[in-house]
Amino acid sequence: MNDPRVPHPIDLQGRGSAPSVRENLRSRYARIRAHSFNLAKPLSEEDCCAQSMPDASPVKWHLAHTTWFFETFVLEKYEKDFKPFLPAFRVLFNSYYNGVGEKHPRPQRGMLTRPALREIFRYREKINERMEQIFAQSGDDGAFCALAELGLQHEQQHQELILTDIKHLLALNPLRPAYREEEQEGSAAVSAMEWLAVDGGLVEIGYDGNGFCFDNESPRHKQFLNAYSLASRLVTNGEYLDFIANGGYRDPRLWLSEGWDWVQANNIVHPIYWERVDDRWKEFTLGGMRPLDSAAPAAHISYYEADAFARWAGARLPSEAEWEHAAREHEAAPDRDRHDRLRQRPARNAAGLQQMFGEAWQWTQSSYASYPGYLWPEGAVGEYNGKFMVNQYVLRGSSCLTPAGHSRPSYRNFFPATARWQMSGIRLAKDGSG
């Protein structure tokens, strides 16, 4: 989820002319843009400027890039006498859009001490004012609504990245500072893991709604599945501790070859934010260091670790088609009652599939690739999906940090096998329905 998934073409013509539709988009624009600003409020200026690793970006850069998106792809198209806020920003805050022009190197985003954070806030303010004028002038235009919607979806993805990137940065600080203080929740009992049988056959996969979706969720297509079983909940921290205690990180038979080389080369012996202090396990969270909750879903797990755990447990990871089919068959619904959570919760003692959404992204064994009949969209905004369909694995569901509206059965997240700073967890699967 490095940047925007390009949207499936949406028919806003006709519907976009309704004042209620225009005003809803306009109000969502104000609300979503304000939320990005609010995410930076608990942080110091120094927090917002630092970059912890090449795969992460400073908060300041996220705030500028999401603004750059509206300036570059919306204002430049719809303003009659368009002038850039600052010509240098076109390069500084371009991510991967080769069709737009030159880009500042991603690993050096933390070197951008200029412009100052206050200038980025001013940049956001001015672009918001200009967008307001375009809403007034072109709010009835379907193509404008589609671009504005894409920009909002893009910004929401960066809101999740702001939280995961700042967590990685703060974890490197010996003081282990909290992003935001949270109340300590009491430990819950672990619900039993059950195996839910799912019939196979010819099934339909892909987006089937009428609203927004990213282009990698389509076209909807048929796929044959053998009968399989899916675990009723995510793997817990306690179960992952058993894997560690049983020598999971020391047994090469459990690991893919590249995964074993990665573990050995980086001396990896536990998940990225775990730490053993005085024979007790603790975990760094956005609320600071906390005792490890054995009942909560294990998170920040790489594909290599998830795959090794599944093999140790006598199971496997699901394919993305199995995951989506099971979510639809068992009517697993996204959690709409989010309460601005920063940590994952234990599963409830309830029947059926749990934790499909809203706790941790779930690795699948499926390589990230196009669906049958997929075509790259035209133009610069069409760059961002097709060219990344290589050397990455698909994750499904959503995490407790995922903005509302980005949780649906067809949503496809993707990362390389080594990625651990994202809130990714494990759901097990087995062949057969018995």
Structural domains in the chain, CATH included, are 19-171 (1.20.120), 195-431 (3.90.1580.10)
User: In b/e form, how buried is each residue of 197-234, taking b as 16+ CB within 10 angstroms?
Assistant: ebeeeebebbbeeeebbbbbbbeeeebebeebbbbbbb
Highest mean pLDDT among 10-14, 149-153, 387-391: 149-153
Closest CA to 219 of 325, 377, 373, 367: 373
Q: Would the CA dihedral through 299, 302, 306, 309 be positive or negative?
A: negative
H helix and E strand count, the chain: 11, 12
> What is the reported pLDDT for 103?
95
Assign 3-state DSSP to the chain and report helix, strand, coil percentages, each to 5.
40, 15, 50
- Is-contact 311 254, C-beta < 8 A? yes
Whether residue 433 has pLDDT greater than 60: yes
Give me the long-range contacts of 80-88 (CB less than 8 A, separation at least 24). Answer: 85/123, 85/126, 85/127, 86/115, 86/123
Q: H-helix or E-strand containing 130?
A: helix 117-138
- DSSP strand pairing (429-431 vs 288-291): unpaired
Q: Is 59 exposed, middle or buried (0-12, 13-18, 19+ CB in 10 A)?
A: buried
pLDDT digit string (tens) for 358-375?
Answer: 999 999 999 999 999 998
pLDDT at 387: 82
Is 410 within 8 Å of 206 (Cβ atoms)? yes
The tens digit of pLDDT for each residue in 252-311 reads 999 999 999 999 999 999 999 999 999 999 999 999 999 999 999 999 999 999 999 999
Instruction: Quickly list DSSP for 342-356.
Output: -S--PPPS-SS---S
- For residue 19, pLDDT over 70 is answered with no
- 426: tokens are 């494990």
Between 102 and 433, residue with greater pLDDT? 102
pLDDT at 339: 55
Can you tell me the distance from the alpha carbon of 319 to that of 431, in angstroms, rounded to the nearest whole number? 11
CA distances from 6 to 13, 334, 380 (A): 19, 22, 10
Q: Which tokens belong to 372?
A: 């049958």
Report the SS3 class of residue 383.
Answer: helix
Q: If phi over 0 gives left and psi between -120 and 50 gives alpha, with beta otherwise, what is residue 201?
A: left
Tokens for 138? 């072109």
What residues are paired with 224 via a beta bridge?
202
What does the pLDDT read at residue 376?
83
What is the per-residue pLDDT for 21?
65
Strands 228-231 and 288-291 come out as unpaired
CA–CA distance, 30 with 322 (Å, rounded to integer):
38
Bin 182: left if φ > 0, else alpha if -120 < ψ < 50, else beta: beta
Side chain identity at residue 24, one-letter code:
N
Residue from 156, 155, 179, 176 nearest 166 by CA: 179
Q: What is the pLDDT of residue 20?
A: 61
How many whole angstroms separate alpha carbon 353 and alpha carbon 192? 12
Write down the mean pLDDT value for the chain: 91
> Is the per-residue pLDDT at 85 higher than 60?
yes
pLDDT of residue 3: 44
Q: Give the per-residue pLDDT at 190.
A: 87
Instruction: Please choose, from the candidates 427, 408, 297, 407, the residue with its C-alpha nearest in 3D space to the C-alpha of residue 365.
Output: 427
Q: Is 249 or 388 the better-scoring residue by pLDDT? A: 249
**CA 61 – CA 124 distance, rounded (Å):** 12
Burial 371-387 (b: 16+ CB within 10 A, else e): beebeebeebbbbbbbe
